[in-house]
Structures are given as C-alpha cells and as structure tokens.
Amino acid sequence: MRKGKGSMNSNPEKRDPEIEALSKLDEAAVDTAELPEFAHWSKGVRGRFYRPRKQSVTIRLDADVVA
C-alpha cells in the first residue's frame, strides 16, 4: 500500500517543523481560551486519523505446547 504525501507514518524523521515546535511547548504555554469546550463525544470515531502500523508475525509451537 502506498502512502500519500504528508501521511503521519510516511517518515518519522521528517516531521513538520511547526508540529515539532508545538510538541516541545509546555502545556501551560498553549492558549486554549478561544477554543470552545467540547464535552459530547457520542459521534466520535476511534482510530479515524491514527492507525498504528501492524506487522505480521509467525511462530511455530510444538503440538504438546498448543494442547
């Protein structure tokens, strides 16, 4: 599967400089006064924007271990 430009998982070393600067800020330095408070999450969708990378793994076990 081909990742599009700007994909979150495309290359962790090449992050957006603005995102990098924001991630280094202390929480107290971020002004959230203009943001409305949001308390209703019933229409929220888990995993919509972030999906961790999965890797297939195969193991071989003795029959007595499985039993």
pLDDT at 1 over 50: no
CA angle 32, 27, 13 (to 5 degrees): 110
| Residue range 14-59, pLDDT digits in tens | 678 888 888 888 888 888 888 888 778 788 787 778 878 889 999 9
pLDDT over threshold 50, residue 2:
no
Could you give the dihedral angle defined by the CA atoms of residues 43, 46, 51 and 52, in that order, rounded to the nearest 10 degrees?
160
